[in-house]
Amino acid sequence: RKEVEQDPGPFNVPEGATVAFNCTYSNSASQSFFWYRQDCRKEPKLLMSVYSSGNEDGRFTAQLNRASQYISLLIRDSKLSDSATYLCSTGKLIFGQGTTLQVKP
């Protein structure tokens, strides 16, 4: 079993839609959680750190569920510019394979 698993998608959604991704992790001792965004042919960039209490940054909300061992990313009011691959990480050099989002006009 992989340490971090993501549905690769692609998730195809219309502009304005709300979309959510989950990322499950196997190591219950994980302490740090992150979401990165990677545009086509570019490097990954930090989107959000994920805190135990959950956190929000504009249209983006990240949640941590320790009991079920997953983190989630919710994107509200999707924009065309949100089209990218979203990678989750549990720190300690562990990344998921990424979930691809395509927002259509």
Partner 1 sequence: NAGVTQTPKFRVLKTGQSMTLLCAQDMNHEYMYWYRQDPGMGLRLIHYSVGEGTTAKGEVPDGYNVSRLKKQNFLLGLESAAPSQTSVYFCASSYSDYYEQYFGPGTRLTVT
Which residue ranges make up the site for partner 1 (CB under 8 A)?
A: 8, 31-32, 34, 41-46, 49, 87, 89, 91-93, 95-98
47 or 78: whose CB is closer to partner 1? 47
Residues 6+ apart with CB under 8 A from 35: 46, 47, 48, 50, 62, 71, 73, 86, 87, 88, 89
Minimum distance from residue 100 beta carbon to partner 1 (Å): 10
Minimum distance from residue 94 beta carbon to partner 1 (Å): 9
42 or 66: whose CB is closer to partner 1? 42
Minimum distance from residue 95 beta carbon to partner 1 (Å): 5
60 or 95: whose CB is closer to partner 1? 95
Residues 6+ apart with CB under 8 A from 10: 100, 101, 102
Minimum distance from residue 43 beta carbon to partner 1 (Å): 4
Residues 6+ apart with CB under 8 A from 41: none
Give the whole-angstrom CA distance, residue 39 versus residue 3.
24
